[in-house]
Chains A and B, each alone.
Chain A
Amino acid sequence: MLSVDIKSVSISEEKKRRKILSDISFNIETGKIYTILGKNGSGKSTLIKSLTALLPGEEFTSSGKVFFNEMDLLKCPKEKLREIRKHNIRYVFQDAANSFDPLKKIKYYFDLTNVSPLKIEELLLFFLLPPYKKLSMLHSYELSGGMAQRLLIVLALLANPDLLILDEPTSEVDYAVMNLILLKVKNFVRDNNKSVLIVTQDINFALKSSDYIAYLSDKKLTKFYTRDEFVTSQDDKVKYFIQSFKEISDVSAKS
């Protein structure tokens, strides 16, 4: 469905060019969940933004090709791209509270979806959010961080996109909500034959949720491994990352 072949993305800082990503290529099939793992600052968010040309052109230069249903997104006219981002490829960004316009009530966002309140209510209920009537009268700044994030996921799901991209979906939520997101994402992919791409540093969530996992570091992305392949990977960086995870969970390591 989505075929990515990015030659390079670089950022200009104080007149210097610095490469952030180079030679990234992968394919996303329908009906599967993909996770890109990586440490802080490895370029995960930059990578997903570059897929639909969301990086500001004055700072970032990207070269390469991103094909979505045989259309090159990086050469796409702006209007068409906006349509695709609205209907086909939906993002849920990290900083949920700042993804809303503080001057607009939540009703504005519900109305934009063209979905009946009844259907919306169903999803709100699933995510343990306040009922439609109450929530639609609030402004975004009246929501807690976790509520804003869940609401963003609800809005993204209402658009019924072909590809849902989640940026650190577990970073600001408690365990109960983490479990909710996991259940919903799996259902979404299974019931509608859609795809999900997650970028995160949460290896636990990746192993539970994903069909395929890749690791991003030093500008490069490994191939997408299956879960079992990933945990037994011989790639040094992947091994080290997994080792840290094991060590921190290991009670016997206690001094």
Chain B
Amino acid sequence: MSLLKVENISYSVLVKDETKKQFDILKNVSFEVENGEILGICGESGGGKSTLAKVIAGLIKPDNGKIILNSKLNNKKSSPIQILFQNHGEVLNPFRKISSVIDEVLVINRIDKKYIEKERENILNSVGFPKGLYNRRGFQLSGGEQQRAALARLLATNPVLLILDEPFSAQDVESQLKLVKLFKALNTEFKITIICISHDLRILKNLANRVIILKDGEIVESGLTKEVFNNPKEKYTKFLLSAEALNLTYEQIQNTSKL
């Protein structure tokens, strides 16, 4: 059953230079997210991936279109859609310890006081955040630790849909692999539906059940991950795959804009 319906989303901005042209970031984007799946959204920089994430999370109001969350599947008390931003370090309040950042969310969610400590530990445990760092503040953590703390804070809100915006960038393979395993565990154990935005096809191949390929604000291809990546139908998908394998010729790179 579909958890979320994205219908004909369009979004544009005015270019700031003297031309004042209208620039379409998203053009008539429609798709559905099935309950319990991991959906990958990939494409190059500037394709509209992050904007789409913000529209789904309700942070940007689109010019046109609707985002419909299946209310039957959303029986949770609090904010059903959460987004893990690219700049995860900046979302942690620098004045607060990680423990209090998590507690705050739990208090807002009316978790009984006696259970808060246990709940906090459960959540931080589930993302693999080390116990010794509970009393640190955001800026005293490494990038990877910040990301886990930010993720824990999102989980404390008890979401049904988690949007991850480029969660793997600037990490080495070993940390990336740990994250992939963590996201799969969140998906299976906590039954959280996940939309993962990434330009890294290699990781999406492993993580996502279904993928959507976005180019210049339009969906060019979508389907089961295996099918899209093993039998790409569109030129652009083929281009992305050979680009990922570092097999492009100079002519192919030059011609990307014409695809």
Which of B172, B180, B202, B248 has the largest number of chain A CB atoms within 10 A? B172
Q: Which of B205-259 contact A (CB under 8 A)?
A: 205-207, 225-226, 229, 240, 243-244, 246-248, 250, 253-254, 256
B19 to chain A, nearest CB (A): 15
Q: Which of A231-255 contact B (CB under 8 A)?
A: 240-241, 244-245, 247-251, 253-255
Q: Is the CB of B205 within 8 A of A249?
A: yes
- Determine whether A69 belongs to the interface, using a CB cutoff of 8 Å to chain B: no
Distance, CA A180 to CA B143, complexed state (A):
29
- Determine whether A134 belongs to the interface, using a CB cutoff of 8 Å to chain B: no
Name the segment of A5-13, A170-178, A188-196 touching the other chain.
A170-178
Q: Is the CB of B256 within 8 A of A176?
A: yes
Q: Is the CB of A204 within 8 A of B243?
A: no
Chain A residues with CB below 8 A from B243, complex form: 175-176, 178-179
Q: Is the CB of A175 within 8 A of B199?
A: yes
Cβ-Cβ contact count across A and B, 8 Å cutoff: 77
A169 to chain B, nearest CB (A): 12
Q: Is the CB of A128 within 8 A of B254?
A: yes
Chain A residues with CB below 8 A from B188, complex form: 255
Q: Is the CB of B174 within 8 A of A241?
A: yes
- Determine whether A124 belongs to the interface, using a CB cutoff of 8 Å to chain B: no
- Determine whether B184 belongs to the interface, using a CB cutoff of 8 Å to chain A: yes
Contacting residue for B202 out of A146, A174, A248, CB 8 A:
A248
Chain B residues with CB below 8 A from A253, complex form: 206
Q: Is the CB of A250 within 8 A of B253?
A: no
Distance, CA A65 to CA B256, complexed state (A):
47
A126 to chain B, nearest CB (A): 8
Chain A residues with CB below 8 A from B203, complex form: 248
Contacting residue for B246 out of A39, A40, A128, A182, CB 8 A:
A182
A interface, size bucket: 20 to 34
Q: Which of B53-90 contact A (CB under 8 A)?
A: none
Closest to A252 in B: B206
Q: Is the CB of A171 within 8 A of B173?
A: no
Distance, CA A171 to CA B143, complexed state (A):
15
- Determine whether A109 belongs to the interface, using a CB cutoff of 8 Å to chain B: no
Q: Is the CB of B248 within 8 A of A248?
A: no
Given known A-B contacts A40-B172, A249-B202, A174 and B246 have beta carbons under 8 A apart: no
- Determine whether B45 belongs to the interface, using a CB cutoff of 8 Å to chain A: yes
A145 to chain B, nearest CB (A): 9
- Determine whether A54 belongs to the interface, using a CB cutoff of 8 Å to chain B: no
Return the CB mask of B138-177 against A: 1 if under 8 Å, else 0.
0000111000000000000000000000000111111111
Q: Is the CB of B173 within 8 A of A244?
A: yes
Q: Is the CB of B172 within 8 A of A201?
A: yes
- Determine whether B32 belongs to the interface, using a CB cutoff of 8 Å to chain A: no
Q: Is the CB of A180 within 8 A of B253?
A: yes
> Which 6 A-B pairs have CB atoms at the shortest separation, nearest pair first?
A175-B243, A179-B248, A201-B172, A39-B172, A208-B246, A244-B173
Footprint of B on A, CB under 8 Å?
39-41, 126, 128, 146, 171, 174-176, 178-180, 182-183, 201, 203-205, 208, 240-241, 244-245, 247-251, 253-255
Q: List 13 A-B contacts (CB under 8 A).
A: A40-B171, A126-B250, A175-B243, A176-B243, A176-B248, A176-B253, A179-B247, A179-B253, A180-B250, A241-B173, A241-B174, A249-B205, A255-B188
Given A204-B246, A251-B205, 12 more A-B residue pairs with CB atoms under 8 Å apart are A176-B248, A178-B246, A179-B247, A180-B253, A241-B174, A244-B177, A247-B177, A248-B176, A249-B202, A249-B206, A251-B225, A255-B184
